Structure 1
Amino acid sequence: MNKKPQTALIHAPRKAPQYISTVQPPLFRASTIIFNNTDALFNRSWGDDYDYSYGTHGTPTTFTLGDNIAQIEGGAYCLLAPSGLSAINLVNCCFLAQGDEVWVADNIYGPNMEHLRNLQARCGIEVKVYNPLDAETFQPTEKAKLIWLEAAGSVTLEFPDLTGLVKKAKAHSILTALDNTWGAGLAFNAFDFGAEHLSVDMTVHALTKYPSGGGDMLMGSVVTRDKSLHRQLFRMHAIQGISISGDDAAQVQRSLASMQLRYEHQSQSALSLMNWLKQQPEFAQVLHPADPESAGHAYWKEVCRDGHSAGLVSVIFKPEYAMQDIRAFCDALSLFKLGFSWGGPLSLVMLYDLKTMRALQHTHLQQGLLVRFCIGLEHPQDLIQDIENALKQLKRPQIE
């Protein structure tokens, strides 16, 4: 057929071979995917491991990233979402229905709690809160369907009694979902941990953090070893139209090779910072799972046997420092920038008032305002110097 120029631009007469061997896998951008024939069209199944039928279901680029994330976390199946919160919402919408009971740790990631409260108001699920350090506070009824775990906990970084909580959930046939963003699949294997080789049912991971590593991407994942759970999640994933772009997947894939190196460097920097912070008189408490004085340290040591921990450390200022003092401290920092998230090259700082964030009373936490440091790739001595300089800006409290 002799094609007109406009048609030839779309249906080119020649096509370069599609596959070569490269360091990074090829990038596929696709919404429409072309079927070779009607047999391929009508014999496809959304339950296939690699269902190439439409861009939202996946392409070689997104499936490659998903396979790698599943491998890192110790799972078998992975679904990708536009953000960590989107991945969390996928789990909640998939496994919770009217009248169900869901249990969440008191130190759960705040937006997850907001989403669950929204489902409670609109859909009639019941949200129950437990103390992650005490498995006895997890008292499920016959309506309980799901428990959210977080290791370590949001902001205050308590490492939970994973062993006790998972064993209790399994005894009551309750699904376990772990927010594994802190551990990133590197601190411990959530699908094979502890002396009893326990496993959670699924992990959720904000790939925005360590897998991306650049502070410039948003993405989330849900990983499981159970094909039945994966099929349920996959169907909800498709119904909700959840998808990511091939460009974003390729960017995260490119960063995976350096993820463990970055994680270990930031972890070691956080330990150096923790040891220095404990010597500073302005702080009532330093919070880090590897610190023997921090709540949950024994649970961390039990599960994270190689001593791995993320690049996060929090401090509670002595109660005589008011919010205006803590804001002045944060504003005086130079290397630490005010911003949410973590896992990127730039160190970040954020301040919190725990009185507005916790439903339960926690005697292990000192009174005072909290600041969380998220360690980047800078030299730890420079970060220490930055904090030391900012502390000099604080007005010393009057001692009566």
Structure 2
Amino acid sequence: MAQNGFLEQKPGFATIAIHAGQEPEKWKSGAVVPPIVTATTFKQPAPAEPIEFEYGRSGNPTRNTLEECLAALEDGKHGFAFASGLGAATTIYSLLSAGDHVVCCDDVYGGINRLFRNVVQRMGIEISFADFTNLEKVEKVFQANTKMVWMETPTNPMMKVIDIGAISKLAKKRSSDIIVVVDNTFLTPYLQKPLNFGTDIVVYSLTKYMNGHSDAIMGAAIVRDDKLAERLRFLQNAMGAVPSPMDCYLVNRSLKTLALRMEQHKKSSLIVANWLKKHPQVLSVMHPGLPEHPQHELARRQMSGHSGVFSFVMAGGLKESRKFLMSLQIFILAESLGGYESLAELPSLMTHASVPAEQRAELGITDSLIRLSIGLEDPEDLINDLEHAFKATFSK
């Protein structure tokens, strides 16, 4: 059912997460939990005639199980697992050639910003950043050689919600060959399915909510188009940024509780966000689930609610932010997000430190901007922890 006016979820998500790709009949033992196959090579009955697998980089039973489940959850057709989210991004960008041009949203994960500016551009690929909440600004940066559009929604860390359908139509109107990519890490397919809005590739840092236990670094890409899948499969094998069977097992295990976890993250973050917006030391709260969020109505049309990650601006400057973060006792001062534990960080010095200072200033990534990842603790305990930190920071 739809909640608070957000997009209604199709039934069956939890069932798919538990059963897609997990058929016990796959294994001679009938194992209900897919086994961890660590073999790097597989016996062939005749030269160049593998039964199904030949070499671990090219395919692995444990990895294939995860990839099949990921594709099903996303309403996709082909899933690809990688050693990290940036490994997935690097492989996706290898679809391009020197002389191509990419249009990217301006507010993007610092690691992606660094990859684009310091690595991809050195390969002869042009990058243009634009505010994707303004279609006119986006349209102005398209070029004749534009081959890819990259966006995150909600964005990191300013939590801007981008109209996936509108951006996809804008790109495809210019050329059907432009590949539209959406980083869906903040929401997971439980809360948003970009392929249903015209996207070509959905990319993830599985490290975050999809795994949810802060114990595995992985990435993924999911597509529907068979030809695009062929190209990605070639690159996955040729470039070799593949995950270990153990990590694939861990993420596959975690998907079984994804629906339950996301419901709690969604519920708790809204409780904390509503408390923060009333606090005298808080200037603004960026949470798409709040009615005052600039793109709240858009969020309701393309999302089934928001997750546990959001940002807020507190009073003071760097001195106060440092004091506040160091005074937290339940929230852990650390990078990353999406785990069962609650995290807090200062993007200007941590996750987005590699973003040029002038771009941080333009986006509003100041030393007073705090990003939270609400975990699975009792929200009342988290609120008490935040209040304790505020008092420690501002008491005279």
Query: Shorter-chain TM-score: which interval?
Result: 0.7 to 0.9
Distance 1:284 1:378, change over 3 A: same
1:77 maps to: 78
1:91 matched to 2:92: yes
Supply the AA of the counterpart residue of 2:212.
G
Q: Conserved in 2, the CA contact under 8 Å of 1:107 and 1:156?
A: yes
Q: Deviations over 1:215-258 (max 9, x none)?
A: 11100001100111111111111111222111111111111110
TM-score under structure 1 length normalisation: 0.86
Q: Conserved in 1, the CA contact under 8 Å of 2:182 and 2:201?
A: yes
Distance 1:382 1:40, change over 3 A: same
Alignment partner of 2:222: what SS? Answer: strand
| Candidates 172, 181, 192, aligned match of 2:185 | 181
CA deviation after TM superposition for structure 1 residue 368, in Å: 6.3
Alignment partner of 1:88: what SS? Answer: helix
CA deviation after TM superposition for structure 1 residue 263, in Å: 0.9
Supply the AA of the counterpart residue of 2:98.
Q
Q: Deviations over 1:144-181 (max 9, x none)?
A: 00010111101111111222211101111221000011
**Take 2:81 and 2:34, find their aligned partners in 1: how far apart are those partners?**
17
**Take 1:179 and 1:236, find their aligned partners in 2: how far apart are those partners?**
19
1:8 maps to: none
Q: Conserved in 2, the CA contact under 8 Å of 1:283 and 1:316?
A: yes
Select between 106-115 and 374-383 the one with higher mean Cα deviation.
Answer: 106-115
2:64 maps to: 63
The two structures, once aligned, show a CA RMSD in angstroms of: 2.1
Alignment partner of 2:194: what SS? Answer: coil
User: How high is the sequence identity, in percent, across the aligned residues?
Assistant: 30
| Candidates 309, 316, 332, aligned match of 2:306 | 309
Q: Which has the higher contact order (CA 8 A, sep 6+)?
A: 2
Q: Deviations over 1:335-394 (max 9, x none)?
A: 0001111111110000133883736846xx697610011011100000000000110012
How is 1:10-29 mapped onto 2 (pairs within 5 angstroms)?
19-29=28-38
Q: Conserved in 1, the CA contact under 8 Å of 2:83 and 2:217?
A: yes
1:352 matched to 2:352: no
**Take 2:339 and 2:271, find their aligned partners in 1: how far apart are those partners?**
18
| Candidates 324, 327, 330, aligned match of 2:322 | 327
Alignment partner of 1:392: what SS? Answer: helix
How is 1:136-151 mapped onto 2 (pairs within 5 angstroms)?
136-138=136-138, 139=140, 140-151=142-153
Structure 1 or 2: more helix by fraction: 2
CA deviation after TM superposition for structure 1 residue 39, in Å: 6.2
Supply the AA of the counterpart residue of 2:262.
Y
1:100 matched to 2:100: yes
**Take 1:352 and 1:360, find their aligned partners in 2: how far apart are those partners?**
12
Which has the higher Rg, Structure 1 or Structure 2?
1
2:111 maps to: 111
Unaligned residue ranges in structure 2 (runs of 5+): 1-25
CA deviation after TM superposition for structure 1 residue 20, in Å: 2.0
Supply the AA of the counterpart residue of 2:123.
C
**Take 2:320 and 2:119, find their aligned partners in 1: how far apart are those partners?**
38
Supply the AA of the counterpart residue of 2:272.
L
CA deviation after TM superposition for structure 1 residue 32, in Å: 1.1
Supply the AA of the counterpart residue of 1:92.
Y
How is 1:138-217 mapped onto 2 (pairs within 5 angstroms)?
138=138, 139=140, 140-173=142-175, 174-192=178-196, 198-217=197-216
Supply the AA of the counterpart residue of 1:211.
M
CA deviation after TM superposition for structure 1 residue 120, in Å: 4.8
**Take 1:336 and 1:27, find their aligned partners in 2: how far apart are those partners?**
33
2:124 maps to: 124
Q: Conserved in 2, the CA contact under 8 Å of 1:316 and 1:366?
A: no
Alignment partner of 1:378: what SS? Answer: coil
CA deviation after TM superposition for structure 1 residue 210, in Å: 1.5
Distance 1:120 1:202, change over 3 A: closer
Alignment partner of 2:336: what SS? Answer: coil
Supply the AA of the counterpart residue of 1:351.
L
**Take 1:359 and 1:247, find their aligned partners in 2: how far apart are those partners?**
37
Unaligned residue ranges in structure 1 (runs of 5+): 1-16, 45-50, 193-197
Q: Conserved in 1, the CA contact under 8 Å of 2:98 and 2:124?
A: yes
Select between 124-133 and 273-282 the one with higher mean Cα deviation.
Answer: 124-133
**Take 2:219 and 2:297, find their aligned partners in 1: how far apart are those partners?**
29
**Take 1:303 and 1:385, find their aligned partners in 2: how far apart are those partners?**
33
Supply the AA of the counterpart residue of 2:102.
V
